[in-house]
Amino acid sequence: MMATTEAVEKAKTKKRPKAWGQVRVFGRWCKGCGLCIAFCPTGVFEAGDDGHPRVRFPDRCTGCEWCEFHCPDLAIQVIRHTASREPTGAKA
């Protein structure tokens, strides 16, 4: 019984990898409504010179997929990850 309790406590304290996402905007599909810019909870997007969204801060993306689900033009793709991020410039 003691081993089970220890295993449960160990599982509770184990850190989960932080979820993150990669965002892609398909510019030709986007009509520039601005929903993604206005409602992204982490401020990943900004308006470009033409008013269409562009990914300004990709490292802020948590992979919540709000933008992908609410885009009326289906112009955004989010690839959600849960593994640790590779350091910038890492080679595969």
Domains of the chain (ranges, CATH numbers): 28-84 (3.30.70.20)
Q: Which letter, b or e, does each residue of 33-69 get, where b requires 16 or more Cβ atoms within 10 Å of its Cβ?
A: bebbbeebeeebbeeeeeebbebeeeebbbbbbbbbe
Each residue of 14-73: pLDDT tens digit? 666 677 899 999 999 999 999 999 999 999 999 999 999 999 999 999 999 999 999 999
Whether the pLDDT of residue 90 is over 80: the answer is no
58: left (phi > 0), else alpha (psi -120 to 50), else beta? alpha
Beta bridge partners of 81: 20
